């Protein structure tokens, strides 16, 4: 499981590959860490790129501040569909997050 990723794509490359402009505040990075804001392209009709917080709030938490100290940042692809934490989001809240590499310290 990855704890960091790399995105070296420029705004022009994002526009060319994904046909969406990048939002203000986007910058390429060689060290994107959990809880950073990351570029996502939601599965919506307009596919407008936006910045989102890397980390997931489990469905049973009522308030974001009630989330554990260490947020959920990744899942095993083999079992994610079986887990209560990922079931709903996996079915209905998908998005792309462009990345050019993944690594673990």
101 inside domain:
no
Residue 90 belongs to domain spanning: 4-96
Residues acting as catalytic residues: 2, 104
How many other β-carbons are positioned within 10 Å of the β-carbon of residue 49?
23
What does the angle CA 45 – CA 96 – CA 81 come to, to the nearest 5 degrees?
Answer: 105
Domain count, the chain: 1
CATH code of the domain containing 77 = 3.90.1680.10
CB 8 within 8 A of CB 100: yes
Q: Looking at the domain assignment, is residue 76 inside a domain?
A: yes
29-61 residue pLDDT tens: 999 988 789 999 998 888 899 999 887 777 777
On whether residue 89 sits in a domain, the answer given is yes
Indicate whether 105 belongs to any domain.
Answer: no
Region 10-32: mean pLDDT is: 94
User: 102 in a domain, yes or no?
Assistant: no
Task: Give CA–CA dist 79/24, Å, rounded.
Answer: 35
73 membership: H or E segment, kind and range? none
Q: Looking at the predicted structure, is the pLDDT value of residue 68 above 60?
A: no
């Amino acid at each position: 499981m990855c704890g960091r990723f790399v995105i070296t794509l420029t705004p022009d490359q994002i526009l060319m590959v994904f046909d969406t402009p990048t939002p203000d505040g986007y910058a390429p990075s060689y060290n994107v860490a959990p809880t950073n804001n990351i570029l996502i392209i939601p599965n919506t009709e307009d596919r407008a790129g936006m910045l989102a917080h890397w980390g997931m709030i489990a469905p049973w938490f009522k308030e974001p501040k009630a989330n554990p100290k260490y947020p959920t940042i990744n899942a095993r692809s083999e079992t994610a569909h079986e887990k209560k934490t990922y079931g709903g989001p996996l079915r209905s809240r998908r998005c792309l997050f462009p990345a050019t590499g993944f690594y673990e310290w």
